[in-house]
Amino acid sequence: MGEDKGRVERVVILPARPDDVWEVLVDPSHLGEWFGGRLDVYPVPGGDVIYTGDDGERRRGVVVVAHRPERLTFWWWPEGVGSEAPGTRVEFRLAEAAEGTVLSVTEEEGEPMPLPPRASIGFSARRRLSAVGPR
């Protein structure tokens, strides 16, 4: 991604190991504690991203990269707007540090949506999986 995009980047040091931070990035019960609004992320390539903000804003998205516990990337875009609506790419990168984890978050304006090869995976499958299997 070049510098010709709208781009925001933040880096923070968090007091937990990358594995634990990863859980907090993808588990809905943890996400509810910090993300603001409700975010569901199914962390596999092609997995759904569904967001409802506290203000009622709705976004849809799709996971592009999910490398636990190092990198999570998804695209999301405003729901209910035409498919050509501009979306943004959100990327979390985690690296182990003495203090815990260095987390960088980037949100940037998108190229046209590069959907992963797998079709979108719904949450019903996820719920079934989590209902029967160990975490």
- 12 near other proteins (CB under 8 A): yes
Would you say 38 and 55 are in contact if contact means Cβ atoms under 8 Å apart?
Answer: no
Asked if 47 and 76 count as a contact pair (C-beta separation under 8 A), the reply is: no
Omega within 30 of 0 (cis) for the link into 69: yes
Binder among 43, 48, 59, 64 for other proteins (CB under 8 A):
59
Q: How far is the CB of 45 from other proteins (least distance, A)?
A: 21
Q: Report yes or no: 95 and 70 within 8 Å, Cβ to Cβ.
A: yes
Q: How far is the CB of 49 from other proteins (least distance, A)?
A: 12
**Which region, judged by CB under 8 A, interacts with other proteins, from 33-41, 42-50, 66-74, 122-130?**
33-41
Minimum distance from residue 47 beta carbon to other proteins (Å): 19
